[in-house]
Structure 1
Amino acid sequence: MKNRTSEYEVCHPKWDWYKVKDHQLDLDFQKMYGTDFACLNEQQPVSVMLAEGSPVEVKIKKYVA
């Protein structure tokens, strides 16, 4: 459906996270996600963290009015 936004609820236990002292990105956003994301190749992240993840449950899609 064109011009409609949908949302999904993602449920998981609280994840432990850690501050990152140093990082390096080796990713071409344009190659990975298309030309609309090429500008990210020239930007630095606002924040970087490391999280211990877990399995997640994705609930039913809802359309946002």
Structure 2
Amino acid sequence: MDRKRIIAQVVAAILLYTIISLILEKEYTQPVVLRELGEGSIFGIIYGLFIWIREKWRNKESE
């Protein structure tokens, strides 16, 4: 999987996490939005690492 595809998936995960969290929170003040963006960024980084490790492992098995 190339780098652009992983980055696109990470950005999508951050946006989805943030939007869903804001909908569930039902509060749209600036501190809440920034907090949810921070949490979404952490989630996106962890998700990106998971995808990258999974692809490396999958490529080792196919060789």
Coarse TM-score class (shorter-chain normalised): under 0.3
| Higher relative strand content | 1
State the TM-score, normalized to the length of structure 2. 0.26
Rg larger in 1 or in 2?
Answer: 1
| Higher relative helix content | 2
